Structure 1
Amino acid sequence: MEIKNLTTEQRNPDTMHIDSMSTLDMVKTINQEDKKVALAVGTQDKKIALAIDEAATRYHNGGRLIYIGAGTSGRLGVLDAAELVPTYGINPDRAIGLIAGGKGAMYVAVEGAEDSEKLAQQDLKELKLNKKDIVLGLAASGRTPYVIGGLDYANEVGALTISIACVKDSEIGHYADIAIEAVVGPEVITGSTRMKAGTAQKMILNMISTGVMIKQGKVYENIMIDVKPTNSKLIDRACRIIQATTNAPIEKALNTLKETNNDVGLAIIMLKNNQSLSQAKSLLSTTNGNVAEVLNKELAN
């Protein structure tokens, strides 16, 4: 399909006169359009759930979450990958964001980079992509050559491929094991897919990566128990997490956190089960580091 015929490139009849609206009406109009995003994402709930289940299995077996995209889509992938590290305490090499044009493209557009299928293949080869990995290809238009090239190569390797687009019957969907297509309609500003399309992609990535982390035992009840407290704000949050999970006094939570060298999960196990550090480590080793599994087992007993 030609670019001009894509849903993301159509003019929105409800925003034809946004340039002459009052500021308040402008804000209300944009907000009204944004309300459509969650509904569009909701139509893809079964595919998103399938993506979580399939990705979680591969991740558990040592696979990596690898995001590929260009422009806004690429930046959203890099953002999701980066945020998983402190939030869920994973190694940076388990979640990787690739953007057409390289790291510099995060800040300044690299002309022509998104038009190369071979560039994505090269980027994935440098990562030594393997069949355990998960490749998430993002393109609002559903037709970016960089993403197509990446998904095509990922299929050759045998990796799980997931596409995320904002048009129906997207080209990238033809190269994916699971094609997610949240059709949000024409943008407030024609073709400005950093708006509704970008929001939809962010919502979908939030669901997938959060779901995968939950499946890895990184969440107990609704608390992120593997957060890495790397600054004062996160140390405070970690102490509150420990307190909320174990009912320990805040001072005891802080002291136990220090004893574990800022390992929130270990601190929770120690206080929850009244165990020493070595005992908690031994118990955690039986579940391959799955804190939630340890806590749920103890609760069952």
Structure 2
Amino acid sequence: MSAPQIIIEQQSQLNSPIEVDGAVYVAAQNGEIIQYKDEQSKTFFHVASQPHSIKMDNKNKVFYVANMARQCIQRFSQDENNDEIIDFINEFEGMPLLGPNSILLSPKNNMVFFTDSGPFGETAIDNCKGSLFAADLENLTCKALALYCLSFPSGICMGNDEKTIYLCETGKNRILRFVQANAGIYYFRYQLPHKFSVYIQFQGRFGPMACAVSSTDLLYVARYEFAQVTEDGLISVYNQNGINIDNIILPQYPELTGMTFSVQAQIFVQSRLQPGVLYITENSQKGKCLKLNVTPPDKKDKDKFK
């Protein structure tokens, strides 16, 4: 594996890299949505307050923005004559949101999912009031998949079949998993009295902050740690049985905040997956977006269930 390449560097903190049509976009804490394309970066559009996560509906060319400080999900659309950004979701059953953290689009289900954590530390382990919400993009109804019970819920990602959601509960250093039942209803993996289950429980480091699923359904987890504690970043890789099959060390990049796979790099040649590309945001000194070439780990003899 080669060393990561810095493709964007800013004074402001960066989060939530995404790739759309060969361009990479990141959200900057100063309100900028930055585009990197053809080895050049520029401000693509600007929103008020603090955008923390972005996703794009590639079909309709619409951006959805999780705005932490404004406490809402925003919708941005652009055409030749006009740019429009509106507050799309700002409450649940009459109660204001704490501050959306990460956002996830599911075209197959026509839904947007988002974690609601509030600012860093607001929903800590002694104040577990974070949530996971799902909103139907057709009728705009919003429902809670986990309501006022999570400790700083941050990154979320979805399996390739769009039936499984993985959630980083940073405050409790663990990954939760939701699985879709009939008619678009999601439930926790096991129906326990407290209505949640743990898919992966970590030891060490502050907690998972971002996750992404590869084309072969391997789960990559960015495990955040403060730069005062360690100089190295860590991405842990898990198979579909929750078995840790690989760990990627990133020297000098400990404060990992966002991660996504390049869609264009996820290709098959003669039934063998070629090396993939991860885009990662990191904020230990300046805000940075990294490009990392990753080789799929060899899963042979590493899964005791097979």
Q: TM-score, normalised on structure 1? A: 0.26
Q: Which has the higher contact order (CA 8 A, sep 6+)?
A: 1
Q: TM-score, normalised on structure 2? A: 0.25
Larger Rg: 1
Higher helix share: 1
